[in-house]
Structure 1
Amino acid sequence: MIVAHLSDLHLGFRAYGQVEDGANLRERDIAAAFERASQEVARVHPDLVLIAGDVFDRPDPRPRAVVALARGLEVLRASIPESPVIMVAGPRDTPRRLGDPGALAVFDTFPNVEAATGLTRSILIEKLDLHVCLLPYRAITRHPPALPEPDPRIKWNVLVLHAETGGKKGEGVHVDPTEWSYVALGGEHRRRKIAPQAWYSGSLERIALDPWGEATDDKGFLVTDLESGQTSFRPVPGRPVVALAPVKVGLSNPERIRRRVAEVTAEVPGGIDGKIVRLRLEGAAPRDLLALQGETLQKLKNRALHLAVEGGEELRVPADAWLSAEGSKLLSTAVKKELEQDGLIEEQAEAIVREVTGGGDPVPVKPHGAVTALDGEVPGIGRISASIPPGLTAVLGGGRGRKAVAELLVKLGRTGDPGAVAELWASSEADTLDSMMHRAISAVAESRGLGAVRAALERLDTSEDGGQFPEVGDADERRRQLPGKLIQKDPKKLEKEFRAADSELTKIRADAAEVDGNLEAAMVDWLRERQDAETTLQAYRDRARELRHRIRRMESAGPEAPCPTCGRVLESHYEDVLAELREQWESVIQDGSWWRSRWEQLEMKPPLLEELEGHSLQLHAALETGSERVELLRARVQEMKSVGPDEPVNLSRPEQAVVTALQRVQSARIARATHMLVQRASHFVGRVSGGRILAVSWDGIGVKLEGSEGSLTPVSEEDLAAGQVAIRIAAASLIAAEGRVLATLPVEEPFDRLDEEAQIRTLILVRSVLREIPRIVLFTRGDVVDARPEFFDHVLEVRDEGGISGPVVRPALAGPGRVTFRLPVRPPQAEVMRG
């Protein structure tokens, strides 16, 4: 009994905007891969062909995709007419409206083809002594999920479903792989064995918009012989994907960067022509990416089908490294260091610092958007009552209704203190790029302690001899008006000090990156061991319950009980069989106790992991302090340049010295916030635009979006929307602190102004920041939800204005299907494992 197992065809997938003869090149690639796979399947001549979901890339496939599927099925029908072709719908094949079966259902009418799109379906093929159970996406995601059952009368039982493994404990469809001859899975694009005779076949092509993780994977389908249990892989050639060797930037040197890029592209066997290519500049700042602008980048883009230029991964700074409850103390220390640098640290100045920076007991941070439900009256729509669970939620509907629900969320979510962060959180309307950047910088700086600096300056400005200081921002005016102490600083010595601090900061950043890498690896190992122990413990519990149930049934029936193996009455063998079952039960209980102890042991983090976490936190705290120190020295250097090398800085009294020190700290914190935001926004805008926009540049007045040939002028509506979305999400992710500052983030305009590919890329980006922002709510017309329902954890549809029945909002189909495998029990390891 030979079975061919394919999945994740994604016919109709488009990317990168490259068109030839009126067709998107990637769409043609995907269709060609299925055509080649169909021909290879025909050569294998299997008894059964399975296609495990996501046949199309969207529920309303384009005509080319439908034609591609029909042609492939015709190849199979003509070559192996006796072999049934059986398909299930995945999330990409399933319309949101329950009454719409989707385009895949049309093929259910084809001869010798079964296409299940709604309910669970069982198919009996007597000539093959075969039972196939089909679980389409709708059957898996309904509550409670479908329960697949094998047919004990049939020799071969095959299960076909499209679902992800994992998720919450006990979530989704429960499958015991030992009950099935074969489990054909779809939903993962990489080939993987889950359990004996349970496989993901993987996709036929590299489907992701950013397919770098699959660059070295072979693509194709699986062939399984149910009689022997042997599974083999049949490759299908596709368009090459190349992740170039990373270019380490180090100190910014445009000429060196261009030379290294030329070297790594020349090293690719066969060149990069017609390939999908990623170029990563490790440790690059936005200005380093701009070194490639012009002829260098344009030549590479002309050769490759698609070239993505990335700046490398950012360090993920733990919230505890910057969200300090001792903000006043840190500010006081920074100001005193500045006074010490000026030679003005004296008793009176220290007293002023204590007075203006002292805040008493730390004030707990009130998170913005601390709302877990939409509950209130919406004008013109009605009363809303709907929960907002953690994850990515989409709110769909007509413009007015959707807008009204967004306003309700903003109203309910004003739970934090007023200020720049509150303004950023509540500003769902699309701004100009410049105003959005100003607002975002203010919010990031406020989260990093700018508010404490400004409060201290205000206290000095309104002191009992208030009015003696000019406006706090006007340092030059203060120097002219107030004769007093003179501070002279050697410019060369100051420059040397600045370079030393910058060099030390680079070293700390490198150390933090190394420790973070070790921490991530240790965390993955611990989580894997803990999951393994939990899964095995659950298998023992299930086995113990099953044995206990059998024992009780046998005890109740006595010698008339049927044999658990053959079904005949036990009679004289009753006691022996019962004793054997009890012995098995006791053995399972004993081994299960070991796994329970192991699971409890792994509930606590291992000492090595805790040590790495502590070291990482120390390094990131040093990185934050060092970054502020570098910016303070930079401010001093600029101050020295502005007054001239021979002109002394003139400070009259301790109060003025403190004001000057505070202003430097203020400048440093704004500069640090600006640097962080521009860095992350550049990274994000590259991801949203697919590399069309290299970076964001900011001169303190206006924002520019930088493309491969220079600044984008004029800026298209799509690029403007990409910049706005990237800046907002970048700022929010820098501020959120794992929900301690931002608990929820609404995303509205200008998301719907992005093109389809950019919207999908934004969803991928948004999902990556959920670890920082627990709840993200996207308000959209809904096209992207129809195209990618599995990206969303929850979907709420707003009733159209004028609707006469039903709730104002109702849940819709969302999320990936989930499957939980009941794995066979295995004995404890011979030696005791240490935590």
Structure 2
Amino acid sequence: MRVAHLSDLHLGARAYPRREGGWNLRERDVASAVQNAFLAVIRLEPRVVILSGDLFDDPDPPSTAFLSLLRGLDTLRQGLPDVVVLAIAGGRDTPAVDVEPGPLAVLDALPGVEAAAGSPRSVHLESLGLHALLVPHRAARASPRPELRPDPSARWNLLVVRGMTADRAGEHDDALVIDPARWDWVAVGGDHAGGVPAPGVRVAGSLERVGVDPWKMQSDDTGFVMVDLEKGTSEFHSLPGRPVVDLAPVLVDPGDPAVGTRRLRELLEGLPGGIDGKLLRVRLQGDVIRADEAIEPGLLRAIRDRAAHVEIRLDAGVPQDPGEEIPRRSAPVGLAWSRHGKEGGTLALDTGIWALTAEAEADRVALATALARLDPSTGAAPAPGSGPPSGAFGFRWVGDPGNAGNAGRPSPRPLQTENAGSKADAGSDADAGSGQAPAPDRAALRAEWVELAGEVEAGSLEWVRDRQAAESRLESCRERAHELRARIRQLGEQGPRARCPTCRKPLGEAHPELMATLEDEWEAVVQDGTWWRRRREQLEDKPAGLREMEREVLRLQARLQARGVAGSGEPGAGGGRGSGVEREVNR
């Protein structure tokens, strides 16, 4: 008894605006994946086909989604006239209103299709000796939970559900608990990545890399599962989908787009297979708010023209460790201000998100002016037409701004500056308030920054090359495995009459030997692919040492800018003169 298990078709998904041939590009990708899956299932000749939820991407799918599913089921019916289709609704194709049956109710009217859209449903196929319990999304989340009971009189008991096994139920208190020991097989839908959570249980995964973040599935295969109930085994059959590429972060210089352009172009040139027709994500790391501040517009246009879709993510500031907790403040504090050394009042900072930034002298003046415009007692804006008071201002924290998560972090230093309309006393006080470090200190800081930035760039290139090499080897293994599996299937169907690929004569008695050789080669390729897949996953994130060096580079860059080095040709000076590293090297 062979069963095909498909899941998470997501017909009608329209993720991005690009269109081809009158279709939304991603909707067309999903429809093609479903049609290719049904054609592959026909060649494997199962007796039962399972569709375990999320057949549609929305409970009110477009007509094109219905058309794609009906066309696929018709293809399946023509190739396998006696096949039985068992389908359940997932969260995506379940309406929010309980009284509405949803789009899967329509499938019940089709010959050879048994569907469950709202309540659990038992299906008895006496000719096959099979009992199937269909538990759709709504039933799996209902209270009280449905009773999952097999039929002891059936030869085979099959559970189709969107839930989880008992060993993982502790992670989710409201989960539907499954005992696999009571069933011959449990077919689970819901996880696009697929997997084997327990013996006798299989999550099929999706047919395409769908969802708001398809790049999370960059290293995952898409396809369906073939189950042999007599042997209690399953085999995953991968299907080609639209490739997705998540580039390594590009460290950019906000003052010089040429730096980011060069680094991004180096990444793209080393990418196996290029970017044509792929879903591409570009991550820019630096203090920028628009992509064209970091990358020249010409390169951005060329990327968008060639790729099927481009997502650009801007990661500003110092990279944060994934496990580093974001500090939170639980008690209100205040900001006390003074003018000409005399206390003026306190501005209340209620519990919540707040930020005060003033490193450079011009920023301190702007912040002092903005704060001076507020009423000290209420924090309200002044009356129209009123300007800031004149005179020198000072600010200090009242309370403990770091009392909830900032232990061990430096507290914000007092901001001492002058109003834009007044002059500070000349002499040593002015030098002290300017934030300038002595010349030898600035030179040493600049040298340290240049050296560390060079190490970061070299380490990043090495990491990118290793990652791209792993991707290339993994893709080669996948392609070779597909070729071998197709050749083995063809030889198995033709038998001894199959012709030798070299001399074109019938294989005859050499047929079993060639089959064994190809099987051995296929297993070796699969093992190599598994190793390269794990290697690719290991290289998904930058090494911890490299991330720490990047953080230190940004810290040094901020210190240089704060001490006035930026105005003398250092990072952040802008003007199109190249990055600080390049300028330092060219001196």
Fold match (TM-score > 0.5): yes
Amino acid of the structure 2 residue aligned with 1:256: V
Counterpart of 1:445 (choices 319, 331, 356) is: 356
Give the drift of 1:294: 1.9
Give the drift of 1:189: 0.6
The TM-score with structure 2 as length reference comes to: 0.61
- 2:236 matched to 1:315? no
- 2:120 matched to 1:176? no
Amino acid of the structure 1 residue aligned with 2:6: L
Amino acid of the structure 2 residue aligned with 1:478: S
Segments of 5+ residues of structure 1 without an aligned counterpart are: 336-348, 369-420, 422-442, 460-466, 515-615, 641-674, 676-835
Give the drift of 1:117: 0.2
1:357 and 1:456 in contact (8 A); partners too? no
The TM-score with structure 1 as length reference comes to: 0.44
Give the SS at the match of 2:274. coil
Highest RCO, 1 vs 2 (Cα 8 Å, sep ≥ 6): 1
1:59 and 1:95 in contact (8 A); partners too? yes
1:252 and 1:288 in contact (8 A); partners too? no
Please give the alpha-carbon distance, in whole angstroms, between the structure 2 residues aligned to 1:185 and 1:475: 66
Give the drift of 1:323: 3.9
CA RMSD of aligned residues (A): 4.8
Counterpart of 1:489 (choices 389, 409, 431) is: 431
Within-5 A mapping of 1:275-674: 275-283=278-286, 285-286=288-289, 290-312=293-315, 314-315=319-320, 323=329, 367=351, 443-445=354-356, 470=391, 472=393, 475-479=419-423, 487=429, 489=431, 494=437, 633=563
Give the drift of 1:47: 1.5
Cα distance change, pair 78–628 in 1 and its aligned pair in 2 (3 A): closer
1:160 and 1:183 in contact (8 A); partners too? yes
Give the drift of 1:167: 7.3
Give the SS at the match of 1:59. coil
- Which digits, 9 at most, give the CA deviation of each residue in 1:103-161, with x for residues without a partner? 21111111110111010101111121111011111111221222211112222111111
Please give the alpha-carbon distance, in whole angstroms, between the structure 1 residues aligned to 2:113 and 2:50: 10
Cα distance change, pair 505–101 in 1 and its aligned pair in 2 (3 A): farther
- 2:189 matched to 1:186? yes
Give the SS at the match of 1:71. helix
Please give the alpha-carbon distance, in whole angstroms, between the structure 2 residues aligned to 1:14 and 1:43: 30
Cα distance change, pair 263–148 in 1 and its aligned pair in 2 (3 A): same
1:300 and 1:307 in contact (8 A); partners too? yes
Alignment match, 2:102: 102
Within-5 A mapping of 1:119-138: 119-138=119-138
Give the SS at the match of 2:355. helix
- 2:258 matched to 1:255? yes
Give the drift of 1:309: 2.1
- Which digits, 9 at most, give the CA deviation of each residue in 1:604-626, with x for residues without a partner? xxxxxxxxxxxx9xx99x99999
Within-5 A mapping of 1:732-751: none
Cα distance change, pair 492–626 in 1 and its aligned pair in 2 (3 A): closer
Alignment match, 2:29: 29
Please give the alpha-carbon distance, in whole angstroms, between the structure 2 residues aligned to 1:133 and 1:502: 69
Cα distance change, pair 458–23 in 1 and its aligned pair in 2 (3 A): closer
Please give the alpha-carbon distance, in whole angstroms, between the structure 2 residues aligned to 1:245 and 1:266: 13
1:321 and 1:624 in contact (8 A); partners too? no
The sequence identity of aligned pairs, in percent, is 35
Give the drift of 1:315: 2.0
Give the SS at the match of 2:70. helix
2:88 and 2:136 in contact (8 A); partners too? yes
- Kindly tell me the number of residue pairs found equivalent between the two proteins: 427
Please give the alpha-carbon distance, in whole angstroms, between the structure 1 residues aligned to 2:426 and 2:270: 65
Alignment match, 1:806: none
- Which digits, 9 at most, give the CA deviation of each residue in 1:636-692, with x for residues without a partner? 999x9xxxxxxxxxxxxxxxxxxxxxxxxxxxxxxxxxx9xxxxxxxxxxxxxxxxx
Q: Which moved more, 1:21-30 or 1:273-282?
A: 273-282
Cα distance change, pair 505–323 in 1 and its aligned pair in 2 (3 A): farther
Give the SS at the match of 1:92. coil
Alignment match, 2:72: 72
Please give the alpha-carbon distance, in whole angstroms, between the structure 2 residues aligned to 1:245 and 1:486: 47
Cα distance change, pair 493–112 in 1 and its aligned pair in 2 (3 A): closer
- 2:271 matched to 1:268? yes
Please give the alpha-carbon distance, in whole angstroms, between the structure 2 residues aligned to 1:255 and 1:624: 19
Alignment match, 2:577: none
2:442 and 2:560 in contact (8 A); partners too? yes
Amino acid of the structure 1 residue aligned with 2:89: A
Give the drift of 1:198: 0.8
Give the drift of 1:278: 1.7
1:158 and 1:182 in contact (8 A); partners too? yes
- 2:238 matched to 1:235? yes
Alignment match, 2:150: 150
Amino acid of the structure 2 residue aligned with 1:315: Q
2:254 and 2:293 in contact (8 A); partners too? no
1:136 and 1:162 in contact (8 A); partners too? yes
Give the drift of 1:18: 1.0
2:329 and 2:351 in contact (8 A); partners too? no
Alignment match, 2:470: none
- Which digits, 9 at most, give the CA deviation of each residue in 1:696-715, with x for residues without a partner? xxxxxxxxxxxxxxxxxxxx
Please give the alpha-carbon distance, in whole angstroms, between the structure 2 residues aligned to 1:272 and 1:320: 36
1:188 and 1:203 in contact (8 A); partners too? yes
Give the drift of 1:93: 0.8
